[in-house]
Structure formats: structure tokens, C-alpha cells
Structure 1
Amino acid sequence: MHRRTLLKHIAAGALAPMALTINRMAAARETPLRVIVPFPPGGGTDVLGRVIAATLESALDRSVVVENKPGASGMLGADYTANGAKDGSILLFAGLVPSVRYYARPPEEVLKQLAPVCPIARSPYMVAINSDLPAKTLDELIAKAKREPKGLTFGSPGNATPQHLATELLQAACGIDMLHVPYRGTGPMMTDLLGGQIQLVVATVAAVEPYLKSGRLRVLAVTSQERLAKYPDIPTVAESGFPGFVAQIQFGTYCAAGTPDAAIAALNAGINRALQTDAVHAKLAEQGFQPTGGTPAQLQTALLAEIRDVAGLVQAGKVRVDL
């Protein structure tokens, strides 16, 4: 074979995988972007996911469809994404650690399942109780909990969800021991809090706020470093006698591991554009969220750090990961 012809064949062979990847990415862009929310409709994750998804259509110039795939504390949605298409057509929207199962693994194992795409937003929590409970302050609640170990119940959207972890951290800081009741999402958890089946939740502003005006809930504290501008009369946990206590929920987006870097970069750029719009800023602020944005590397760093931070709760037996 002539040398020039041979070089052409070699070049064509080398470019073939790249061309295949580009073709797959182009095909993926023609299909709707499926945003997977691993919790039921109505909760903080769902609300935030839909706000972002609504803006992504114009930011990415493609149609976007939100799909709720709840179950097993976020595992079903995370596993669905991890086992799905690796072309950037499926985007998981979840808390910083999207699946309880990952707490039982070495942190780096998570990256073999999901590829970080973009940090989204963060929000402090509200410590909310059913208004039938006589406690008017966090101190009064703690005193009651100490008098009645396991006598008070707290809810979470599921075992080892960020809300569950935040409540366990609060219990550890306050020296109390309440009974955990996990639910299949924020919606049913809030329903039972209103009904008195549970007494307390540590939940996002988005989850608690709709029920404040009814008087059926009472917020004792917020977990931010400073008081919330929207609720200046509610003290922080730190102000309530626990200096330095801060807890927040953070959200991010993920694709299946093995998704081409170019597809992830395109999604990251579109999400960051969406987060910078005035409309998204306003809607997130209404729900108590602060947009973050950033790079896949920043999300990866935060994700691995949170997994390591939770290791102590797992080892202490406060969190089960054998679902």
C-alpha cells in the first residue's frame, strides 16, 4: 500500500471513535433531556429541580422533561441514571450525595457510578415542630427530649437523606435522642407532621414555608450561620446555645459515569447560564435557595467531602446504609 494511502487509513481509524462520540452526542441533543428527580413531587428537591429544568430548555436549546423516580432514599433515581444512557441525555438532580448506598462505599467508588456535572444551589434548614407541642424555643424542645428519651419522633424524606443526616447532627450537638421515622419523600413527611404523627422535622425552607401561615407548624430555629433576611425573628441554632452549628442542604447534577467530557461540559455550561438568569435567582430566593453553580470538579470535591463527613454517623450506628 502506498505510504500516503496507509497514513489516510491510520488517520481515519484514529478519528473513527471520535466521530462516533460526536454522532452520539448530536443524536442525544435531538432527544429531550430527561431530568431525574429521585423523590416524589412536592418536596424541596422536586421544586428546585423543576425551577432549573424550566430554564434549561432555552439555556441548552433542547426540550427538557422532568421525571420523578422516588424510592429507597434516592437510590432508585441514582441507580436509574447510573445504568442509563451515557450520552448526556439523562441528568440526575439530587442532593450532594444522591444515594444512601454511597455512604457504605469508599468515596471514590461513587465516581464509578455517576459523573458530577454542576453544583446547583444550597439552602439552610428550618427546625420545625407540630404546633401542638408546647415547646416555644429550641431550649424547651431539648429539655423535653432529654426528659423523654425516644419519646419524641422526627421525620425525614428517607433514611440517610440530607435532612436525616442534619437532624442526627443536631441531636448530637444538643445531646438528645429522638425516634427516627423515615418517609418516601418530603410530601408525606410534612403531611404527618401537620397531623401530629411525628413531632419534628429538620427541613428546607421550601418544604416548611407553605405551612407557616396556617399556624399548624412552629419554627424554633434555622441552621444557617446567620438569621434569614426573610425571617429575622427566627434565631439560628448557633444563637440558641450551640455556637458554630451550621447545616445546609446542597444540590448538584450528575450523569452516568462514562458520559463523554464534551457532553458534560455542554450541560455544565447550560446549567451555569440558567443559574445566572434573574428569573432563576428570583424563584430560588422565594424557596429559600441560594444558587451556586460551578465546575464538575467543584461538585466532585464537595461530594467526596460530604461522604467522608457522614462516615462518623454511619460508624456510630445513627445511619443505616444497608437498604
Structure 2
Amino acid sequence: MSPSSFDLARRNGLRATLLAAASLALPVAWAQPGSYPQKPIELVVPWQAGGGADVVGRAFGAAVAKHLSQPLIVVNRPGASGVLGLGEVVNAKADGYKIVLSSTELTFLNHLGLAKFSYKDLRPIARLNADPAAVVVRADSPYATLEQFIEASRKTESNIRVGNAGHGSTWHMAAAALAEKTGAVFNHIPYPGGAPAVLALLGGHIDAVTVSTAEVSSYVAAGKLKALAVMADARVADGFERVPTLKERNIDLSIGIWRGLSAPRNTPDDVMVVLKTAAAKAVKEPVWLDALQKLHFSTDTYADDVALEAVMSRESAFFKTLAGKLKLSN
């Protein structure tokens, strides 16, 4: 079985396991009359089924089952770099029965002119996980170091093609930020998601990708891809221990992707307490930890609503400046 087929089968198998776990799990306490929740809660995932966000959403649904008196039902609403799904929840009734799997994109879609809403139009519940971006090339690439890769991109005749998860995605912004910091010149090639971009790199259709370490870890371990750098404050485990950070290369840049939960801005405090308490308990469940570990996602990056709000504020300011410098807004 090819690596891509293996990964697909692994994701599909994990997804089926999580669906079964969610359907079999029984809540430990039933809602009292008039208390929240009285009916199933819809978790909107603004990305396609089978992808990283979908797996995170379904893993959380399985893990939180015994901490809520009603099931959490995952509904995929992909499209427009997350705008469709996020926008649906921004405009939803603020009663706690429709929440969204939010991500880094929430902090900059408005700065790109892709959305009329901002992170301030949703109320954070918690950050579930976070993973840094990596600059990755094929194992047979002529670039052995990040410096060689950057230097090659500056040559007039160069056409360094860097794949991303679509215009306006976190991975597009990661490559754009790297170019802005270093004077590199990249030909940004959009794909429907990070996984298709990685497959394009494996097929030799592009020269590099900037995606999460989780999305390339199995290929790096198999010797098919090599990571030139990680966009993190410190080195990353799980096969990336020898890969330098950008800061070690004197490039002051850290970019990654986080996934969390958000509710409509005016959701009542008592409802938020239920959701935040359930989320904090769910991320300690074995079904949650096992799901993330199988896909090489980080398992120790949970943050509460206050911490997540602070992260979004910082990122929004950073990406606003970046979008302005690169004239990325539509």
C-alpha cells in the first residue's frame, strides 16, 4: 500500500472508530428540566470530511460524550478557506446548540478581505490542540538546508513552487510570512488542503510545502521528505528533533495552526460554563489522546478561553500587518 493510501486508510479507519465510540458512549449525567443542553449540540467543522480538522472534531465528539448530557454531532461545512462554516456559526442563534471548530484562519480571513467577520464575532471555548508549520522538500531535493532553499528562490530565473492549503489558508500565510522575512520569492500553489499539497510534493509537481509537522511526519520518517526548518519557538519532537527552528536560523518567525471551539458571541455565560467544563475534561480522555497521537498531532497544547482569546488577539495583529505588507487583501 502506498504511503498516501495508507494514510487515507488510517484516517478512514480512525474516523469509523471515533464514530462508533461516540455512538456507544453514554453520558454520566442527564440534564435536569430547564438546564443546558436539552437537545444535541451541532459542531460545525468548516473543512472537508476526512481531513485533520474533521478528525479532531470527531475525536472531540467521542471524548466529550460522557461529559455532556446530549451528543455532539459533527457537521462538515467546507468552503472558502473556512469562511462558510465559521460564518454559519457567527450568524447562528446564541443558545449553545451550534458551535464551531475554529482555527487560526479565524484571526486573518477578514484581513484578506475573505470574510466580513473577525475572531471577535465568536466567543472562544477552548483551544484543543496546536502544531507548528514546517518547511518541507522532497528527500531528493537539491536543497539540503533552509539557507540553500531561500538563496535559490532569490535568483531571477527561479520558480520555487510552494504548495499550500488554498489561498487564505494558514499554510499560504506561513509561506508568505517566510518570504517577507527573508526576501525569498515563491510561486504559491494552492490545493484543496494540506494533504493534497503534500501528495503534489511527493509527485514532484511542486518544490516545497509549508504545512504542519503532523501532515508530513510519516513521510519524513519514511525518508521520502525532509524538513528544512520548523516554524516554532523550540524544536519539535516526533521525528523532528534534529530539524532547526527558524529562530535558530536568525529568522524571527513562528507560525502554526491551532484548532479550538468557539460559540456565537452572545452565548450566555451559564451555557459557556457547561461547554468549557466539558472541553477541559474531554481532552484528558484516552479516545482523544489516542486519536491525536495516531495522527502525530500534539496532545499537550490545550488552552482555556482566556488564553485562546489572547492568542487570537496577537495573531490578528500580526496577520493584519503581514497582509498589508504583502498586499494580500482582495
Is 1:94 paired with 2:102? yes
Query: Contact 2:81–2:166 (CA<8 Å) still a contact in 1?
Result: yes
Q: SS of 1:91's equivalent?
A: strand
Alignment partners' CA distance in 2, 1:103 and 1:212: 34
Unaligned runs of 5+ in 1: 1-21
Out of 69, 81, 87, the residue aligned to residue 73 of structure 1 is 81
Q: Give aligned pairs, total.
A: 296
Alignment partners' CA distance in 2, 1:149 and 1:100: 32
Alignment partners' CA distance in 2, 1:56 and 1:97: 24
Q: Deviations over 1:46-75 (max 9, x none)?
A: 332232222011222321222221111110
Query: Contact 1:157–1:183 (CA<8 Å) still a contact in 2?
Result: yes
Out of 304, 310, 321, the residue aligned to residue 295 of structure 1 is 304
Q: Deviations over 1:83-103 (max 9, x none)?
A: 223221222112134275422
TM-score computed with the length of structure 1 as normaliser: 0.81
Out of 220, 240, 244, the residue aligned to residue 235 of structure 1 is 244
Report the counterpart of residue 310 of structure 1 in structure 2: 319
**Cα offset, 1:151, TM superposition:** 0.6
Out of 219, 222, 225, the residue aligned to residue 230 of structure 2 is 222
**Cα offset, 1:25, TM superposition:** 5.9
Q: Deviations over 1:288-320 (max 9, x none)?
A: 314333433332222122111111111113533
Alignment partners' CA distance in 2, 1:142 and 1:186: 21
Query: Contact 1:222–1:234 (CA<8 Å) still a contact in 2?
Result: yes
Larger radius of gyration: 1
Report the counterpart of residue 263 of structure 2 in structure 1: 255
Out of 216, 232, 254, the residue aligned to residue 246 of structure 1 is 254
Report the counterpart of residue 319 of structure 1 in structure 2: 328
Q: Cα 1:282–1:146, aligned 2, differ >3 Å: closer, same or farther?
A: same
- Which AA in structure 2 matches 1:315? G
Q: Deviations over 1:143-174 (max 9, x none)?
A: 21112466111122122222222222222222
Q: Cα 1:186–1:234, aligned 2, differ >3 Å: closer, same or farther?
A: same
Alignment partners' CA distance in 2, 1:160 and 1:290: 26
Q: Cα 1:301–1:237, aligned 2, differ >3 Å: closer, same or farther?
A: closer
Report the counterpart of residue 207 of structure 2 in structure 1: 199
**Cα offset, 1:203, TM superposition:** 0.9
Q: How does 1:90-239 map to 2 (within 5 A)?
A: 90-98=98-106, 100-103=108-111, 110=118, 113-148=121-156, 151-231=159-239, 232-239=241-248
Pairwise CA RMSD: 2.8
- Which AA in structure 1 matches 2:99? L
Q: Deviations over 1:34-55 (max 9, x none)?
A: 2222122343323322322220
Query: Contact 1:42–1:186 (CA<8 Å) still a contact in 2?
Result: no
Q: Cα 1:150–1:263, aligned 2, differ >3 Å: closer, same or farther?
A: farther
Alignment partners' CA distance in 1, 2:244 and 2:120: 41
Out of 262, 282, 285, the residue aligned to residue 274 of structure 1 is 282
Report the counterpart of residue 10 of structure 2 in structure 1: none
Unaligned runs of 5+ in 2: 1-31
Report the counterpart of residue 13 of structure 2 in structure 1: none
Q: Percent identity?
A: 26
- Which AA in structure 1 matches 2:98? I
Report the counterpart of residue 16 of structure 2 in structure 1: none
Query: Contact 2:40–2:70 (CA<8 Å) still a contact in 1?
Result: yes
Query: Contact 1:74–1:99 (CA<8 Å) still a contact in 2?
Result: no
Alignment partners' CA distance in 2, 1:164 and 1:236: 19
Alignment partners' CA distance in 1, 2:158 and 2:274: 49
- Which AA in structure 2 matches 1:310? F
Report the counterpart of residue 56 of structure 1 in structure 2: 64
Alignment partners' CA distance in 2, 1:280 and 1:237: 30
Select the structure with the greater relative contact order (CA < 8 A; seq sep ≥ 6). 1
Query: Contact 1:157–1:185 (CA<8 Å) still a contact in 2?
Result: yes
Alignment partners' CA distance in 2, 1:168 and 1:24: 50
